Amino acid sequence: MTLTQLEIFTTVAEFKSFTLAAMKLNISQSAVSHAVKSLEKDLNVTLFVREQNHTTLSEIGNILLMRAHNMLSIQESMIQEAQAANGLKKGVLRIGSFGPGSSSRILPPILAQYRRQYPLINIIVDEGDDESVIHWLQDKRIDIGFVILPDERFDTFKVKEDQMVAILPLGHPLAEYDKVSLKQLCEFPFNLTQAGSGKTVMDLFHAQKLVPKIQFKTRQLLSTFSLVARGEAVSIVAQLAIPEGAQDLVIKPLTPAIKRTIAFAINNESEASPATKAFIKIAKAMHS
């Protein structure tokens, strides 16, 4: 078993395709297949279930994927530690973000400063919903990610306060109120944004034993804003996710207020790679 085999294994698992993994790694598909078969032979297990146009992890493959990510993470940390002895120059930093609020409002100034100091570090930002970022952290697919506090599973530090707000079309009956309640929103067609904090929104309704009239489910916030602007639904989103200068929308605080604290999280700060520690240092200086 080699680290190269593990890298190929994790890439096939990520893309669910031998062909796409070969393209990503810039090697032949036969080389990918050979590496996976050799790894399966070494471990005496079947890692993937191969169908005509579909490749999925087997049960044991899914278990071993986390181990593979751990081993590759240790390798990357060792390489960076060695390079850091002569000044941090090269490496990879993987960041998990849960949407526009974090990707467009929080990350840009931090990344700009980071790139100025460490121009040769390769930065990869993956976007997913809140739960996906947590899973990526737990599986060590990313080095650092955004979470909502409190979260005792990781080492965290606060970066921003945010709140959930209602968004309404212009001229909507609720637009005359200073604040709106979840109960009031239940009287109108509702759009559930499944990106980012979709689960959080439903948890808010369930906590008050309310059921919104969900008529739309969108995966992109732009679709949410468009639906609301056309007067087809109302919705709830994180305030930071709303673009500056958004038009044809009325934004109202919720009552009672529903605030959330956004934080950066890592599995263990003391074991973080040099590239990750450098990012944390910059982020803390900008959000202290």
From residue 230, give the alpha-carbon distance in Å to each of 23, 167, 273: 42, 12, 47
**Residue 118 falls inside a structural domain:** no
Low-confidence ranges of the chain (pLDDT < 50): none
Mean pLDDT of the chain: 89
Closest CA to 57 of 4, 25, 16, 1: 16
Domain count of the fold of the chain: 2
**Residue 276 falls inside a structural domain:** no
Domain endpoint, select from 20, 47, 64: 64
Q: Are the CB atoms for 21 and 32 separated by under 8 Å?
A: yes
| pLDDT for the residue numbered 125 | 93
Distance of CA 33 to the CA centre of its chain: 29
**Residue 58 falls inside a structural domain:** yes
- CATH number of the domain within which 209 lies: 3.40.190.10
| pLDDT for the residue numbered 86 | 60
Query: Could you tell me the residue range of the domain that residue 196 belongs to?
Result: 161-259
Strand intervals (E) in the chain: 48-51, 54-57, 91-97, 121-127, 144-149, 155-169, 189-193, 213-218, 234-238, 249-253, 259-266
From the CB of residue 225, how many other CB atoms can be counted at a distance below 10 Å?
23
**Residue 127 falls inside a structural domain:** no
Domain endpoint, select from 43, 64, 85: 64
- CATH number of the domain within which 57 lies: 1.10.10.10
**Residue 9 falls inside a structural domain:** yes
Return the H-helix or E-strand segment holding 224. Answer: helix 221-229
pLDDT digits (tens, 9 = 90+) for 150-199: 999 999 999 999 999 999 999 999 999 999 999 999 999 999 987 667 77
